Structure 1
């Protein structure tokens, strides 16, 4: 928004309506966004009522909703004029004014399949979030046939419904082609990362930290730990002593939200090249999907808490939408993505017929995974892991 204001000023600050210069209009929008952030953001985000932005613009400038639409349209027109001028000057035809105009036009006119959100209290930003992906996936209804294959499509019914595939779609699940004895999955039932529980008893996170450090120190095999979020990762690592500050040179790697793709890949290469290393990452993040760790590059995966989505305004809106559409809000918006994240994490272990590894889920809620994988409750996790590797 600040760049758009500067750009408008650099191009003569044209009027978008009688007595309203472009810079004034954009400054008012910027201030309205700041006001809405203060009012609507609870934690991570906030839901903005459909006509809230329009009403606040009208309160400031007067007129009708059609006047607001015309002003927004004029912002886009001015932006296009700026682009054309830059193109004639052999410059990159980029316009911040045009971008703001296009977004405001979409925001004002978007339908019920989208919701309006505001995020980032310190640097407030408007978001439009699409609840219904059918406009994108509808192309599948025009093909003769389509085949969808992945190791992590389950739950299949949710996949079919949210992609608006026909109810007659054939749903098939096949066992892994890799030897079953090459992988073991355990869970423990004396810890959880459920917010209600850890907010009452910080000892739970301390115990999870003890599980992680105990497993890594006991077996000295490349270990990857996946946390539900960066926030939970930070809280658990606080209980793991000074070793987490030793860094990559000590075989201890950690994913940060601020990491660039280059930084992430440098850490991955370093981890893969060592033995007895540990990598702390986030479920559903860049490490958890699409990377292979064959052989001894990864032998133990720890899922430090079931990665249920945080109950943000966006998440609640999606759950309500699926409830209205399918009658399965929690199952489709919460349960299904959690299952997939866990399957993605565990899937890092076995990428060929010769790979062997063990996964441990540190959360009593992991028993819901029994429908999707062979998972066993462990009463002595160190003993069970040792038995798998033939060390006990």
Structure 2
């Protein structure tokens, strides 16, 4: 049997898609070498199985575990479906893992759960010890009755004293978890038999375990040893602390783990979020109150350094909020600029100006020592039943952050930020300090270096050299497969509408041209239409401009506060709806629109992200980190390439199978072959996608769409009149 045939036993369907067999072979070969893989494949072409099938085959042969992960909820459901299909043809041991908070039957936070676990386990251990001592007591009583041995009497007295002490401990063990207690004392064989009989979702585990009085989350952790496949969220791998625990639950060394990242173009931002650290003014105030209640010699230096930082934080954002700006602060965090080009940031300078003491580092160390001591006290109080909840040590959190701020705030890739928001309860404005991580490879390079191999897959990973640089990969294998579905089933038009520069978007003539072109696109689509804009504001603008046209059917508007799943359902259920949304929203990737669910998709403008200080910081960090790769690495790596990736993701929402057909539109002259100089973005697309772009004037689009859809007999009845 060949290697290919060997791993194909995990392939659950009759025949692979075009290129899928080759992709599986190439991934299999890379894994045999322990080599990472960057794998780009067009939407709907079977990337998941192309990676999963050879990964599972390799894992079984070499006693490794495959961890497949995504940050898109719909993809998690797809993983479960694929794993169940595999399990039906080749049984595998698989678990689907989710965070504790969504699976807790008593609704406590992570730290409190950890303490409840410890106290519950101690209770069970004490009860087991008590049973052994009772057996020993009975034996000694018999010995004493039989021969009146004095040594037996002394031993019996010692055991009785131990029993009394254990009884006191057992009686005082009030802060325990009944569900976890049942895990430790009950018969869980039936649960694990059920768990591995199929691939179970976290919701199914929650219900099944909960109905039997067990904690499904802890049983999942216990059952992860010797599994071949784990499905989980990004944070289980990207958070270094969680990852260490996660591998321990797997009972695996990192070198025995193969990671598969889906939607891997999102790893950059996700890693950046996991690496960033923050501290709110509320936590600082709570830490100061905690220290005020503490009778410890270390409290005074700890209070000295934390109070100076708290005062500096308040003074910094007060100075930055101009006339009327404080009143306009809302409930979402808003950044205020504190960075300087030639010296440390304004918060650090304000802190140094206010601080008076024996040394920031020395007093931070004392604060950390005291914080750890207080945290242990809170733990003991909860375990012993002296407190009904597990108190968190605010001093420990605050001191840890201030230490990190002073040590790392000036390092390359660490950008200091202050933000403000309004408390919904008190209506007061308060602040937050944050160390924003600009270069994600500081998180990902360690991960990819320690696991056996990783497969990163997406419809939009190219250019591969940029992905490799940004994530810190060493010599990965690269695979790229374009859309293999019949080319006659799709048209991709680059429409020469005016270039939607920010300065041009308010021009009435520009708006009229774009609105008219969008109206044509919606009217000549036999089915529903997806319209992606640079922002929700632009989506709302054109929704209003088209709302009065009765020929356009149902017009749906997405927004930051909308239920996107409800909107998606309304679009799918309609015969002729159009959805106006942002390219940076949740519907631009990871969501399939099959057949009439969406026949036409349009990206309006070149949707560069909103320019912000954070984005400028990322650009600056990339300029310095990758200066030897590109003359303009900051713009290219941080702005242009991510924007084109998002655009390509949006275009991929339609044409999801070989029989599907549709039209994809790019509305902006910068997408065309016209001479736009440095503003042109056409060359940022992969070559084969550029070759499919058909330039067209906005006035001719309706005729082109009419001809295409007529050729596919797509109209139900008479087609619309041009």
Maintained 8 Å contact 2:528/2:577: yes
Is 1:84 equivalent to 2:379 in the alignment? yes
Tell me how far apart the structure 2 counterparts of residues 180 and 48 of structure 1 sit (CA, whole Å): 51
- 1:339 is the counterpart of 2:637: no
Q: Given the superposition, is the C-alpha separation of residues 57 and 26 from structure 1 closer, same or farther in structure 2, using an over 3 Å criterion?
A: closer
Give the Cα separation in 1 of the matches to 2:538 and 2:367: 42
In structure 2, the partner of 1:330 is 635
CA distance in 1: counterparts of 2:622 and 2:473, whole angstroms: 15
Q: Does the CA contact (< 8 Å) of 2:557 and 2:580 recur in 1?
A: yes
Residue correspondence of structure 1 range 36-185 to structure 2 within 5 A:
37-38=320-321, 46-49=337-340, 50-63=344-357, 64-66=359-361, 69-70=364-365, 73=368, 76-77=371-372, 80=375, 83-84=378-379, 87-88=382-383, 89-94=387-392, 98-110=396-408, 111-120=411-420, 124-138=431-445, 139-143=447-451, 145-166=453-474, 168-185=475-492
Query: Is the Cα contact below 8 Å between 2:531 and 2:579 reproduced in 1?
Result: yes
TM-score (norm 1): 0.82
Using the alignment, how far apart are the partners of 1:120 and 1:242 within structure 2? 40
Q: Secondary structure at the match of 1:314?
A: helix
Q: Which moved more, 1:8-17 or 1:51-60?
A: 8-17
Q: Say which is worse superposed, 110-119 or 310-319, in terms of deviation.
A: 110-119
Question: What residue is the counterpart of 1:231 in the other structure?
Answer: 537
CA contact (8 A) 1:8 1:97 kept: yes
Give the whole-Å Cα distance in 1 for the aligned partners of 2:361 and 2:512.
Answer: 58
Question: In the alignment, does 2:696 pair up with 1:378?
Answer: yes
Confirm or deny: 8 A CA contact 1:303 1:361 kept in the other structure: yes
Cα deviation, 1:28-73, whole Å, max 9, x if unaligned, reads 255135236438x9x9653534453233123234234436635864
- Are positions 1:13 and 2:311 aligned together? no
Query: Deviation per CA, 1:98-143, whole angstroms, max 9, x where unpaired?
Result: 5444433332322323111234576544332212222322232345
Unaligned runs of 5+ in 2: 1-279, 326-333, 423-428, 628-632, 673-680, 711-718
Q: Is the CA contact 1:48–1:118 (under 8 Å) kept in the aligned structure 2?
A: no
Q: Give the C-alpha shift of residue 74 in structure 1.
A: 6.9
Following the alignment from structure 1 to structure 2, what is the Cα–Cα distance between the partners of residues 344 and 75? Answer: 50
* Residue 302, structure 1, aligned to residue 609, structure 2: no
SS in 2 for 1:389: helix
Report the counterpart of residue 63 of structure 2 in structure 1: none
Aligned to 2:6: none
The answer to whether the Cα contact below 8 Å between 2:415 and 2:437 also exists between their aligned partners in 1 is yes
Change (3 A) 1:20 1:317: closer
Give the whole-Å Cα distance in 2 for the aligned partners of 1:251 and 1:76. Answer: 58
CA–CA distance in structure 1, aligned partners of residues 301 and 451 of structure 2: 51
Name which one, 1 or 2, has greater alpha-carbon Rg.
2
Distance, in Å, in 2 between the alignment partners of 1:103 and 1:310 is: 29
Distance 1:19 1:152, change over 3 A: closer
Q: Is the deviation greater in 125-134 or in 327-336?
A: 125-134
Report if the CA contact (8 A) 1:57-1:68 is conserved. Answer: no
Judge conservation of contact 1:186–1:377 (CA < 8 Å) in 2.
yes
Q: Could you report, residue by residue, the CA deviation over 1:344-386 in whole angstroms, capped at 9, with x for unpaired residues?
A: 1001002211221111111112233464212111121111111
Q: Distance between the aligned counterparts of 1:86 and 1:386, measured in 2?
A: 74
Q: 1:83 to 1:349 in 2, by over 3 A?
A: farther
SS at 2:483 equivalent: coil
Q: State yes or no: 1:353 paired with 2:658.
A: yes
Tell me the distance in 2 between the aligned counterparts of 1:320 and 1:30.
25
Gaps in structure 1 of 5+ consecutive residues: 245-249
Query: Greater shift after overlay, 96-105 or 324-333?
Result: 96-105
Q: Are the structure 2 counterparts of residues 75 and 275 from structure 1 closer, same or farther at C-alpha, using a change threshold of 3 Å? A: farther
Contact 2:525 2:599 in 1 (8 A): no
1:284-330 Cα distance to aligned partner (Å, 9 max, x none): 32111111111111111111111112221111121222222223222
8 Å CA contact 1:37–1:119 kept in 2: the answer is no
| Cα displacement (A) at 1:225 | 0.9
3-state SS, counterpart of residue 17 of structure 1: helix
TM-score by length of 2: 0.47
CA-based RMSD of the aligned residues comes to: 3.4
Structure 1 Cα separation of the partners of residues 288 and 402 of structure 2: 19
Q: 1:186-335 counterparts in 2 under 5 A?
A: 186-198=493-505, 201-219=507-525, 221-241=527-547, 251-259=554-562, 263-327=563-627, 328-335=633-640
Greater percentage in helix: 2
Matched, 1:389 2:709: yes
Q: Is the 8 A contact 2:371 2:396 kept in 1?
A: yes
Other structure's SS at 2:481 match: coil
Q: Deviations over 1:178-215 (max 9, x none)?
A: 2222221112223222113336x343234323322332
Residues 241 and 73 of structure 1, relative CA distance in 2, 3 Å threshold: same
CA contact (8 A) 1:17 1:71 kept: no
Change (3 A) 1:72 1:204: farther
**Mapped contact 1:13–1:21 kept (Cα < 8 A):** no
CA distance in 1, matches of 2:640, 2:443: 23
